[in-house]
Amino acid sequence: MLPRTFRTRRKEAGGSGPDLSCRVERQSPVALVRLAGTLTVETAPAVRATLLQCLASQPELIVLDVSTLDTDDDIVLSVLPSMASHAAAWPGASLVLGAPGPQLSAALERMAVCRSVPVYPTVEQALASRVTGVPRRRASQVLKPVPRSLGKARSLVKRACAGWNVGTVTDRAQIVTTELVANALRHAGTPMELTVSLRQRYLHLSVRDDCRTAPRLGGSDDEFGVDGRGLKIVEALATGWGSTPTENGKVVWATLQLPGGNRR
């Protein structure tokens, strides 16, 4: 399907204002997104939406080619640290910028974006910044929307934790995974993909389904999961959790921090 281009246009009195295109040229393990045009308050949501779509494929690194990007207001650059924080939380990816022009570089400095988002002189250097030699461990399985998928999900998590020598989080990971899958069974009812991955100090758990409705906390216990615990227990046990929209549905994810760091 790649490359894909998303466009948005800013409306101004008396005509159309500058537009912005977001071209996705690759997605995993390194996503490359070329941003061209003007980043404004009106066009910033397009950047966020595009990056969320990239995160759904769980890359290790997202590179933004900003060589032809400018902005009409420094404050809108705050979308970049915000998305970098989101990517770090799940799926544990890094967001970097490549080839900013002189004016954009100055704006990035003024807004201190460089403190949280690495900036490289060229796109090639940004692409080469991916950490090599320590591959992210990853296991996934497609599950049917049937109750027995709960047991299959727990088994995958148990095998992954044992194989990666992170047994200290196995019980928590199995409980969280059970609730994520149960939530998809009850509220999506579509085939789903469970992914378990290990990166640095975090175990990442995610369930991708074909329902666009975002999960939420609230209401009675019976509203979530098959046994009344649901997403409330995910919130209690996970370091962080959330939902990321995809083209055809969503990914509901959770992260667990490893005691004492990642055991390699």
Tokens 């990971």 belong to 173
End-to-end CA distance of the chain: 35
The larger pLDDT score, comparing residue 221 to residue 111, is at 111
Quick check: pTM over 0.75? Answer: yes
Is the pLDDT score of 130 beyond 90? no
C-beta of residue 53 within 8 angstroms of C-beta of residue 28: no
Is the pLDDT score of 264 beyond 70? no
| Token pair belonging to 30 | 């390194």
The per-residue pLDDT for 146 is 98
- Taking residue 188's Cβ as centre, other Cβ atoms within 10 Å add up to 21
Residues 6+ apart with CB under 8 A from 123: 32, 63, 65, 67, 98, 99
Tokens 């009106």 belong to 42
C-beta of residue 184 within 8 angstroms of C-beta of residue 252: yes
Tokens 């490289």 belong to 120
- Taking residue 195's Cβ as centre, other Cβ atoms within 10 Å add up to 19
Is the pLDDT score of 227 beyond 50? no
Domains of the chain from N-terminus onward = 4-127 (3.30.750.24), 137-257 (3.30.565.10)
Is the pLDDT score of 225 beyond 90? no
- In the DSSP assignment, the letter for residue 78 is G
